[in-house]
Structure 1
Amino acid sequence: MSPHPSWCAGGHRCALGEHRADPVIVALPGLGRVALTRVRAADGREHAEVRLTVALAAAEPHARRQLLALTNHLTHVLQLATRASARPATGVHDGPSA
């Protein structure tokens, strides 16, 4: 196993040749929770692991609409993230545009 990177949480989180950071948790009471974890796989490739928990409406038609909206928004997030990872590294942070 390679040496732990500076962001690696170490301990029991690192297993099967991968390194894992402590998760960043964002919780919005009554709405949901997101846990974002940086991971370096055994082959050296890094990725973000995202676990999302969303409160669904009690009424079935509303819950289905929520799930459809969630699927559409997550598709957009994946497209944005993929586009960003395909850019060549410039060393310059291109933060959000105004």
Structure 2
Amino acid sequence: MSRRPGQHPEWCAHRHRCGFGEHRAEPITLDAPGLGRVILTRVQASDGREHAEVRLTVALAATETVARQQLMALTNDLDTVLSRAVYASKRPARRAA
């Protein structure tokens, strides 16, 4: 996709969200009250490469042992998510019928 310098992608939120040569979409927020929150933002860096920025907040148990178990499970789950995303980006694009 080619754009002139200064042009925004169609998904870009414009205004104050763009800076330092990058473009940012409006964040998508998923709330699970009392449990946590996920904020997902599409970003195009100044070099043109796109990525998803993911911020995750998770409520931890008050007990240290349980909190550590939660963190280990979260680490394993995030590894799975990252592996799936990388795998998906390496698959050939599907052709339209």
**TM-score, structure 1 normalization:** 0.89
Q: Distance in 1 between matches of 2:13 and 2:43?
A: 10
Gaps of 5+ in 1: 93-98
**Matched AA of 1:88:** P
Of the three residues 21, 31, 40, the one matched with 1:17 is 21
Of the three residues 78, 81, 93, the one matched with 2:85 is 81
**TM-score, structure 2 normalization:** 0.90
Of the three residues 8, 33, 40, the one matched with 1:4 is 8
**Matched AA of 2:43:** V
After superposition, give the CA deviation of every residue in 1:38-74 in whole Å (9 maximum; x if it has no partner). 0001111100000000000000000000000000000
Gaps of 5+ in 2: none
Of the three residues 27, 33, 52, the one matched with 2:31 is 27
Shift of 1:87: 1.4
Identity %: 64
Q: Corresponding residue for 1:41?
A: 45
Aligned length: 92
**Matched AA of 1:60:** E
Q: Corresponding residue for 1:96?
A: none
**Matched AA of 1:90:** R
**Over aligned residues, Cα RMSD in angstroms?**
1.1
Shift of 1:86: 1.1
Q: Corresponding residue for 1:56?
A: 60
